[in-house]
Amino acid sequence: MNLTAFSGPSLQAAYLRTLPAIRERCSNVHAMAQQGKLEYFDYCPDHESSVVNYCLEIMKRDFPAADGGVDFASIPPHGRWRHLDAGKSRIAPLMAKWDEERRSPVSEKEKCKRLIDLFLVSVLLDAGAGNKWSYNESDGESYSRSEGLAVATVHMFDQGLFSGSPAAQPHRVDGKGDIFRVWSYHLIFLLQAQGLSQINESRIATAMQVSDANPMVGLSGRTSLLVNLKTALESNPRLFGSDARPGNIIDFLESESKLDGSSLRVHVSSLWGVLLEGLALIWPARYSIGGVQLGDAWPCSVLATVGQAEGDDFVPFHKLTGWITYSLIEPMEKILKWKFDGIEDMTGLPEYRNGGLLIDFGVLTLKPGLQALANTSGIPCLPPSHSAVVEWRAMTVIELDRIADGIRRQAGVNSCDLTLAQVLESATWKGGREIAKQLRPLTGGPPIEIESDGTVF
């Protein structure tokens, strides 16, 4: 993002929406933790080695090498693809359908556009569903949490729920469908099917098998994201094309990038900028500076100082944007063979599984003020705006960097051999879930519950 056109509050707002701002502001919170100045947590760095060892054991178990170590080359990056294929392959059979389409051959570019359509919607529906909801497939297999949400969206996508032309082109997401004719009383009306305009809470609830016996947290907020997505897509034809489709960002990125031999080189900041700018309208109005909505960015009390400039105490996370970015890079690399630069600017995702790992291993311990907020189950339940949650998420971002470095040192590899995205996929995200299930077997939930509206966690 070019900041030279901004000044004053608008410059601060623009900065808080960049990738580097996430790690920089989270580092400021981490520095306060090192001085024992967090309001809600004590920081115990000596416990990081326990997390590293736990994560390495999981990696050895799931990605074993012949010498008893870890086969790092076999670890995929963190992305939505794995969740969509939970339990069995679903993306490959879907792509096989496209190869069999009789109307016309489906190009590699169109395949990638369809996957971007699917992945984007799936990530937007991915914020925590709670401990009680699950999704049942026709073969009897049941999936909960992120995997359940992903599997559900594959079926919704396959049924054309997000398409304006569900009969002719079910496998797409758009705000503007085909124009078709309706004859009535000898008059011809031209109507346009509106893919995302069909979305409402009832349809989402039905498609996701939500009921009194199978409740989902944040259903209303989740639905509003899809409704708002239509507005965002239609408002940005430069990014999403005249048919208001997420997959059309491929065309925009092509125009903004350069060829390196036969491969296109794309800087991750270009994709990040498209997602921050293009999807800005979908997020609920929260905090703003200079009239600019900040999205997933929150004030943190320990960064507040007398006489500071507006926004100096804010910490940006943009977790869902980061999750979308990781998820969309993979199909563009696999199918289009694009190469992305600047990946080192990407951070770990500040959500309850990665963050829960830190609390469950004692890297972070709750101060009495936070313990006093616990519910009858002994677990604090807080809104995402609470400074304790902001501290927790900021610490999570930096601790994921430190844990990744610890794993690399112990395994004798570098960041090229083991990327942060691979650490998230094979170790911390999975490790956070597994230790939670061990310590809280009834729910498998995190050590701090977030009052999710379906748009943050």
23-81 tens-digit pLDDT: 999 999 999 999 999 999 999 999 999 999 999 999 999 999 999 999 999 999 999 99
Q: What is the pLDDT of residue 223?
A: 83
- What CA–CA distance (Å, rounded) separates 80 from 77? 10
CA-to-CA distance for 339 and 357, rounded, in angstroms?
A: 32
Question: What are the boundaries of each domain within the chain?
Answer: 38-77+349-457, 79-346
d(C-alpha 328, C-alpha 418), whole Å: 20
* E-state strands within 137-275: 142-144, 179-184, 187-192, 258-260, 263-267
> CA 285 to CA 292: how far, in whole Å?
10
Long-range pairs of 66-71 with CB within 8 A, sequence gap ≥ 24 = 69/411, 70/411
Q: What percent of the chain has pLDDT over 90?
A: 68
Question: What integer pLDDT is reported at residue 186 of this predicted model?
Answer: 42
pLDDT digits (tens, 9 = 90+) for 227-254: 888 889 999 999 999 989 999 999 999 9
The structure tokens listed for 322 are 């980061």
- Give me the pLDDT at residue 105, please: 80
Count of other CB atoms within 10 angstroms of residue 261: 7
* Residue in 126, 118, 101 with CA at minimum distance from that of residue 154: 118
Residue 451 has pLDDT above 90, yes or no: no
Mean pLDDT for the chain overall: 89
Indicate if the pLDDT at residue 314 is higher than 90: yes
The pLDDT of residue 309 is above 50: yes
Report, as an integer, the average pLDDT of 383-403.
Answer: 97
Listed in order, strand segments (DSSP E) in 83-232 are 134-136, 142-144, 179-184, 187-192
More confident residue, 377 or 96: 96
Q: Looking at the predicted structure, is the pLDDT value of residue 255 above 60?
A: yes
Beta strands in 238-287 (DSSP E): 258-260, 263-267
pLDDT reported for residue 132: 85
pLDDT of residue 187: 44
The pLDDT assigned to 218 comes to 79
* Mean pLDDT (whole number) for 145-170: 88
Is pLDDT above 50 for 375? yes
Is the pLDDT higher at 217 or at 367? 367
Which of 264, 259, 269 minimizes the C-alpha distance to 108? 264
299 beta partners: 314
Can you tell me the distance from the alpha carbon of 307 to that of 248, in angstroms, rounded to the nearest whole number?
45
pLDDT at position 189 over 70:
no
Residue scoring higher pLDDT (233 or 126): 233
Tell me: pLDDT of 106 over 50: yes
Q: Are 234 and 279 in contact (CB under 8 A)?
A: no
* Both structure tokens of 211: 């009921």
pLDDT at 109 over 80: yes
Q: How many CA atoms lie within 13 A of 135 on its CB side?
A: 27
Spatial separation of the C-alpha atoms in residues 251 and 238, rounded to whole Å? 10
240/274 Cα distance (integer angstroms): 9
